[in-house]
Amino acid sequence: MADGSDTTLTSEQAAAQPAPSGLVAGIRTFAAGHGGAKAVIEYVGKRGARIVLVGEDGVWGDQFADGTDVARLACEKAGVAIENEWERELMDQMRPSNDLWRSMARRTMAR
């Protein structure tokens, strides 16, 4: 047996860390306020994972979790479907707000 093989992450270890109730409630609230939602989970290094939520009405938002396993568990508990990657249909559904367009323009113009 190779050194360190006894520390391999198993599904039992991943399930031991529960999803924070505030995170689940935030995802559930977003989905309820926008006619349902889909999620894409992005790994962001030591910070954890970003959950990008896209509502059925095109509005989007995000939440942060301690890791991708916690993010997946939170989405499952909230009843939100998880997309494996950014599909064209999901991106076409997103409708950025005017405020977001303005903030992106300010960043570009400041360079």
Closest alpha carbon to 37 in 23, 54, 57, 51: 54
pLDDT digits (tens), the chain, 111 positions: 454 444 444 444 445 567 788 899 999 999 999 899 999 999 998 889 999 999 888 888 889 999 999 999 999 999 999 988 777 777 766 776 666 666 666 665 555
- Candidates 58, 93, 53; CA nearest to 75 is 53
Q: What is the total residue count of the chain?
A: 111
The confidence score (pLDDT) of residue 89 equals: 73
